[in-house]
Structure 1
Amino acid sequence: MIVTTLVDNSRLEHRTDLCVERGLSLHIDTEGTKLLFDMGSGRTFFDNAPLLNIDIQEVDLAVISHRHHDHCNGTSHFLEQNGVAKVYLKSCGDKDYCFRAFGFKSDVGIDKALLERTSGRIVLVTETTQVAPNVHVIAKISDKYPQPKGNQYLYTQSKDGRYEKDTFEHELLLVIKEEDGLVIFTGCAHSGVLNMIETAVELFPNDRIKAVVGGFHLVGLPVFNSIGGTKDDIKALGIALSRYPVEKFYTGHCTGMKAYHLLKEVLGDRLEHLPTGRCVEV
């Protein structure tokens, strides 16, 4: 499997030709299938693709991890350029998604017009679905462990105006099974990266886990690049991650660099950063 980061919050230092945004998009080439996992908040992933030798027209399918704009609003650009591929998205209620902190509020949700314009190309998933050979979209994620503390600022708003803490019923987990093991893709892991790994272990109990790839949502307030919780919380997460039989962790986006360095102290070489422009063979 080859994983290429089309867009992330940061980029490789020597790739000044690539643009970044606060978003995520990964191109995955696995055993005859090419797919996108998330598409950022705009066309940045698309503009970066040819600079990374990726042809968007050759993508077979796409999966959106959850309904926050920095993972899905680039979908309109994808659908304009690729006339065939389906886009898989978790089915859930009609809500607005927002960030609220210290009297400040901002919309962080999907462009609903996107769903209306492209309903024929978007497939709503309600249960675990194999969307291509050995490519599994998981609709129900374990709740064995607490969700990340950075979620505390994220809400849903119903049609009658009521705010509720986001439960992330709109989040999916992607698991790709290759001959030599599994790769787990987390998006933002709002449901908790431990819960996502636990889900994969429960569904594929006898499979080796080659890697976990994606954001872990360990930021607190992004504008300050703070961590969600305490340093001890992040290190405890690192210890818990280390106990799972996962060979490598590749992360970026909403993990945040402060949390990344704390995890690195625990996980060492098992943890690597995955900025825009990086291509890894898993």
Structure 2
Amino acid sequence: MEQVKKLKITVLSDNFTSTIIPPLIGEWGFSAYIEADDTRILYDVGNSGLPVLHNSKLLGIDLSKVDYIVLSHGHSDHTGGLGNKELLDILKGKTIIAHPSIFEKKFLNWGGKLQYIGLPLTREEIERNFNLILTRKPLEFAKGIIFSGEVKRYGYPEYNSGLFKSEEEGIESDHLYDDAALFINSVKGLVILTGCGHSNVLNIINHAKEITGVNKIYAVLGGFHLLSSEAQHVNDVINKLSSEAVKIGPAHCSGNLAKSLVSKDRFIDFGVGKSLEVVE
């Protein structure tokens, strides 16, 4: 697998924000802008799209230059920005890469009531506005960059409590098979970017090693879905991550406990406006 010589990943939308002047804004959800040599990727588009638009302008990022939009899964806090007309107009005509189950009707049991938390656009609307690539299998769509496809389970539990999907036969538990990550083979090792990590970040790491053939993990970044987990489980996951990766950047649904348990030498502040850079 070829290497990316120059990599920069910048968080455009997240629920963790920092004191930055001029002021950047955040919301529940996630979006990151990736510059990998000559390839530009928008990984997720946030909940409303407003932070993506606002923060990209302040950070000098031209979203019209995006080559690919990668959607980590079908939940609205990662795809809702597609329903923002201003953002949609900027991204129209780009190529979207996602797992085919992203179009399932998805629901959250919140306070005993089912709430729709799926895509804001129909498949027909997305196909009308974008070039759409759907794949369950891993896909190296640019030099040194792989869309994970469906993450293989290696015995670590998936995070899907309270999450459902609708089928013709009725409502059933959603195993989030559409939960997908990005694997970037940088000059310092693999950089793994997750959206929510519903499939479990430890499963994602094993999947990355298996499909890339690269065992050296430089950084694991994004949502680890540990926010509602018991303290011992969070501690166990972070300890395992720390034995695998040089740098760890918990974001979005990872929770403050996960952030606090990462040692200072490994921790990356990966909130709104923050970046990871890897160069030769």
TM over 0.5, yes or no?
Answer: yes
Question: Aligned partners of 1:83 and 1:96: how far apart in 2?
Answer: 23
Question: Aligned partners of 1:243 and 1:79: how far apart in 2?
Answer: 40
Question: Aligned partners of 1:40 and 1:274: how far apart in 2?
Answer: 15
CA distances 1:116-161 after superposition (whole Å, capped 9, x unpaired): 2121422212311111222111113121133355x2121112234x
Paired position in structure 2 for 1:225: none
Which among 40, 45, 64 is matched to residue 39 of structure 1?
A: 45
CA distances 1:221-255 after superposition (whole Å, capped 9, x unpaired): xxxxxxx2x211111112221222x1101121011
Paired position in structure 2 for 1:67: 74
Q: Which amino acid aligns with 1:139?
A: G
Paired position in structure 1 for 2:256: 257
Distance verdict in 2 for CA 1:259–1:132, change over 3 Å: same
SS, match of residue 201 in structure 1: helix
Q: Is the 8 A contact 1:213 1:249 kept in 2?
A: yes
Q: Which amino acid aligns with 1:214?
A: G
CA distances 1:61-94 after superposition (whole Å, capped 9, x unpaired): 1100000001112135444113442011111285
Distance verdict in 2 for CA 1:91–1:148, change over 3 Å: closer
Structure 2 unpaired stretches of 5+: 1-6
**Deviation of 1:202 (Å):** 1.3
Q: Is the 8 A contact 1:60 1:84 kept in 2?
A: no
Distance verdict in 2 for CA 1:204–1:123, change over 3 Å: closer
Question: Aligned partners of 2:102 and 2:239: how far apart in 1?
Answer: 36
**Deviation of 1:106 (Å):** 1.7
SS, match of residue 74 in structure 1: helix
- Are 1:131 and 2:127 matched, yes or no? no
Paired position in structure 1 for 2:35: 29
Q: Is the 8 A contact 1:147 1:190 kept in 2?
A: no
Output the TM-score relative to the length of structure 2: 0.88
Distance verdict in 2 for CA 1:122–1:15, change over 3 Å: farther
SS, match of residue 73 in structure 1: helix
Q: Percent identity?
A: 28
Runs of 4+ displaced beyond 6 Å: none
- Are 1:166 and 2:174 matched, yes or no? yes
- Are 1:191 and 2:199 matched, yes or no? yes
Paired position in structure 2 for 1:141: 151
Structure 1 unpaired stretches of 5+: 221-227
Question: Aligned partners of 1:233 and 1:128: how far apart in 2?
Answer: 29
Q: Is the 8 A contact 2:189 2:214 kept in 1?
A: no
Which among 190, 208, 213 is matched to residue 200 of structure 1?
A: 208
Distance verdict in 2 for CA 1:126–1:242, change over 3 Å: same
Question: Aligned partners of 2:102 and 2:83: how far apart in 1?
Answer: 21
Q: Which amino acid aligns with 2:76?
A: H
Question: Aligned partners of 1:170 and 1:242: how far apart in 2?
Answer: 26
**Deviation of 1:270 (Å):** 1.0
Which among 266, 274, 277 is matched to residue 278 of structure 1?
A: 274
Question: Aligned partners of 2:211 and 2:15: how far apart in 1?
Answer: 31
Question: Aligned partners of 1:95 and 1:252: how far apart in 2?
Answer: 25
Q: Which amino acid aligns with 2:108?
A: F
